[in-house]
Structures are given as structure tokens and as C-alpha cells.
Amino acid sequence: IRVKGAISMANETARSIGPVILLGPPGAGKGTQAKQIVDRYGIPQISTGDLLRAHVTLGTSLGLEAKAIMARGELVPDELLYGIVADRLREADCRRGFILDGFPRTAAQAGWLDAFLEKEFFENSEMCPPVVIQLQVDYTQLLLRLTGRRSCPTCGRLYNIHFQPPRVDELCDLDGSQLTIRDDDREEVISGRLAAYEDQTKPVADYYRVKGRLVPVNADQTMAEVAAQVFGVIDGHTSDCKPAAES
């Protein structure tokens, strides 16, 4: 049984997966599901926020330009972001596939990504086309997930007063510290965040829906149940792809 499991895992981490794009509002579980995908298929998770911070820290030309823009309180323009994303996607660990976290956020970014992938990856037909998974969560459930979050300022342990409450109300199980709530987890702030997400992301979802790539997944379930759905979508999408070319 162990040998069969090892062979199965080796197969998962050898075949072409292609780009995986996760869409979903704050609290939908994108980060959790991305980690599950990384562990199962052995492809990297690429966060545009992390990439920007890395370029700034390393003092690259792109990082210095981005730092100057952000210092003025302005948003990093798409043209600069495209260069940062393109550099990362050209690295060797992306050859079989990758998960995009926080990108694309607009229909224009989605269009750029399609053109980039077509030119850089698909001309040799070694990589599967992108699969776009939309994690769908009921609005009330999202509010419970986000407004219920609490953290211990001493040990950092996380709780949710609705789903994973502490044994004693508002006190950490480990050290008894008073639990805290982040300012951006307050209901009035969250309502604005969710509304902004809907306005910003709907064109992206529509873009991929028109292209026939958008696959909805019911994320109002346990982590394991959602992961099983996500794996099913990816496996079905990649079943006809060729193995990744040998380096």
C-alpha cells in the first residue's frame, strides 16, 4: 500500500498541471486550498504581494521603481506588475504549472496573462491551459468566518468564536491572554471589503466564464471536502495533458 501511495504521489508531481487561478472573496479559503494544491501536485504558489516585497527588499530595478511609486501612496501600475510576474513565471519551478495568488485582479490583467502564457508556454504544447477555480461562499458564512476571527497577542494562536471558539470566552486556551480582533475584521470594514471585491473581481470571473474556463466550487464545506472538489477539477482538467518535457 505504501509503495502504491508513493507511486501515485510521484505521478502527481511529474505530470503537467498548468496554471491554476483561484478566485474567491476574503475568507473563502484561497490560501488554505492553495497550500493543499502545493502539497499534492508539487507546483509553486506565486503571490504578487510577496513578489513585490521581495523585489523591494532585494533592491532590484523593478523593486526600486515599485518602492518609489508606493512611497507616493500610488498603486503599482500594471506594466510594472507584469514585468515582476513574467520574471517569476519564467523560473524553472513553474515549468509544470503554478498557482497564482492575487493575480489577475482585473480583466485587463487576465488578458495580459493569456497573451503571456500563449507566447511563453503554450507554443510547445507542453503545459495545460489555465484552470480557473471560483470558491463560492454564502455571504452570511463569510461574515461569520471573518468577524469571528480572534487571535492571541501573546502566542499568536488563532480562533473563531463561531467555529473554533476558545474554552473560556475571549481567552486563549494556552496562556489565558485576552483575545484580540483586527481592525479589518470588524463587520463594518468587512462589508466594504466584500463589496469592493465583488466590484473588482466580477469582470475577471466574467472574462474566464466567457472563455469556458471558470469552474465554480462550493466552499461552504469543510477544508477536506473543498480540497476534494478542487483536486477533482484539476485532475479532470489535466487528464488529457502531455507529461512535462524533461529538462
* CA–CA distance, 148 with 165 (Å, rounded to integer): 9
Query: Catalytic one among 182, 186, 202, 211?
Result: 182
- Examine the residue annotation and report whether 149 is marked as an active-site residue of this protein: yes
Instruction: Please indicate whether residue 40 is annotated as part of the active site.
Output: no
User: Counting every residue, how long is the chain?
Assistant: 247
182 has catalytic annotation: yes
Other beta carbons less than 10 A from residue 24's beta carbon: 21
177 Cβ contact partners less than 8 Å away, ≥ 6 residues apart? 152, 153, 154, 155, 171
How large is the C-alpha radius of gyration of the chain? 20
Q: What are phi and psi of 46, to 5 degrees?
A: -115, 115
Task: Say which of 105, 157, 209, 213 is annotated catalytic.
Answer: 105
Q: Please pick, among 67, 95, 193, 213, the residue that the annotation labels catalytic.
A: 193
Query: Is residue 105 annotated as a catalytic residue, yes or no?
Result: yes
* 193 in catalytic set: yes
Catalytic residue among 15, 96, 145, 149: 149
Question: What are the residue numbers of the active site?
Answer: 30, 105, 149, 182, 193
